[in-house]
Every structure is written in structure tokens, then in C-alpha cells.
Amino acid sequence: MQIQYFGLSSFKITTKQATVITDPFHKDSGLTPPRGAADILILAQKNKMLYSAVSGISGGPFEVFDPGEYDIKGVTITGIPLKQEDRYVTVFLIESEDLRILNLTHIKDFNMKEDEIEELGEIDILVLPVGGNTVLSASAASKVVNEIEPKIVIPSHYKMPDLIIDLDPLDKFIKEMGGKKEEMEKLTVKRKDLAEEGTRVVVLEPLR
């Protein structure tokens, strides 16, 4: 499996059988919207234009935006609604190639109860927003990491050049996590590569 990052909460996940793109953002963000072919398109809020600029995505992808379970091309996706103030935002458990990714999209409040976290099972890769303001703050995000205890955490939705949305820089979260990080253009991972203990913080260079 390979994971690449566009910016905000938009990622490209490539498995042997499918290409998945999440939350392609609109040009109103100040960033160039994601483009490319996909088999599966995951949208946490289909009715929010900022996170559903689908015009740049080709290939006639199957769209997943509602809570529930979906099986498409060797990828199992479970949508879980989380209450956020006056609305719901869907987060997604993505399973393929014996790896389990929890994508917390662009939530501001992680309010899963302890038994709900246990029901999720073991999480290999946690993708979570860290930029504060409209999403989780750096300190709140680090607490989520401690609750879920993933093998790898990939931060998202933080300040970057040209982005006009007011977000905190990534450094705040890295500091909360003890200052250690690995930077790479893409994460290539297999089940056998995962460490038995500890959490790696992987920072992905945004695709341009």
C-alpha cells in the first residue's frame, strides 16, 4: 500500500487493486485542487464544497459519503458519523492488504467513547487533522493518538504555503508528539513492516 498527500484532508491511497482519493479540496482554499484517476472517492461531507471538488477526479469512481460499510475492489470502508456541534462529519475506517487505516478527515471534536474505540479494533495508521481552528488542535490531536495507539500517525489539515484557511503550523503537533518525525514524499507500507511497539509520526510532502 502506498499513501500520498495532497493537502488539507485529501489523500491518495493506492492498493494492488484500487486507487482511493479522499476529500479533494476546492480552489477557494488557495491550493491547486487534486487531480487524477480514482476507483473510490471518499467524501466526509459531500455537501461542503471545500472538501468535495470532484471535477478534477477522473475514472468514474464509486463515491462513499454515507455511514455504513462498503466493499469495493478489495477495499473495505466503514463510515462512522461523529457529531460536531450542529452537524455530523463522517470518519472512515479503511481496510485493505491486511492494513487498517482510521481517517479522521476534518473533525474538530473527537468524541468517541472508550467502548467505541475498542470496537474499532487495532489501528495501524491514523490520519488526523492537527491545525486547530476548524479542526482538532495540536494538543487534542496528540490526545487522540494516545487513545488510539496506532503504529503510524500521519498529520493532516495544517498550515502550508498558499493556503488561505487559518490553521496552525505542523510544528505545534510535532512538539506535542515529542519532536520526532519522519519526512517523505510517499509512505509505502506492508503489514510486515509495522513495528510491534511505539508510534511513528510520518509527515508526507504534499503532491503538486
Strand, helix or coil for residue 99: strand
Beta strands 10-14 and 19-22, pairing class: antiparallel
CATH superfamily of 2-204: Ribonuclease Z/Hydroxyacylglutathione hydrolase-like (3.60.15.10)
Which one-letter amino acid corresponds to residue 19?
T
CA dihedral 205, 109, 44, 180 (to 10 degrees): 20
Per-residue pLDDT band for 197 (boundaries 50, 70, 90) equals confident
Q: What whole-number distance in Å separates Cα of residue 105 and Cα of residue 91?
A: 6
Q: What whole-number distance in Å separates Cα of residue 165 and Cα of residue 119?
A: 34
Q: What is the pLDDT of residue 86?
A: 83
pLDDT at 88 over 90: no
Beta strands 40-42 and 57-58, pairing class: unpaired
Give pLDDT tens digits for 153-195: 999 999 999 999 999 999 999 999 999 999 999 999 999 989 8
Residue 127: all three cell numbers together: 490520519
Q: What is the pLDDT of residue 195?
A: 82
Residue 112: all three cell numbers together: 468517541
Beta strands 125-129 and 99-103, pairing class: parallel
Q: Residues 25-45, buried b or exposed e (16+ Cβ, 10 A)? A: bbeebebebbeeebbbbbbbb
Quick one: how many helices (H) and strands (E) in the chain? 3, 16
Q: What whole-number distance in Å separates Cα of residue 54 and Cα of residue 73?
A: 20
Per-residue pLDDT band for 49 (boundaries 50, 70, 90) equals confident
Q: What is the pLDDT of residue 149?
A: 95
Cβ-Cβ contacts under 8 Å for 28 (sequence gap 6 or more): 49, 50, 164
Question: Is this structure's pTM higher than 0.75?
Answer: yes
Which one-letter amino acid corresponds to residue 12?
K
pLDDT at 208 over 80: no
pLDDT at 42 over 80: yes
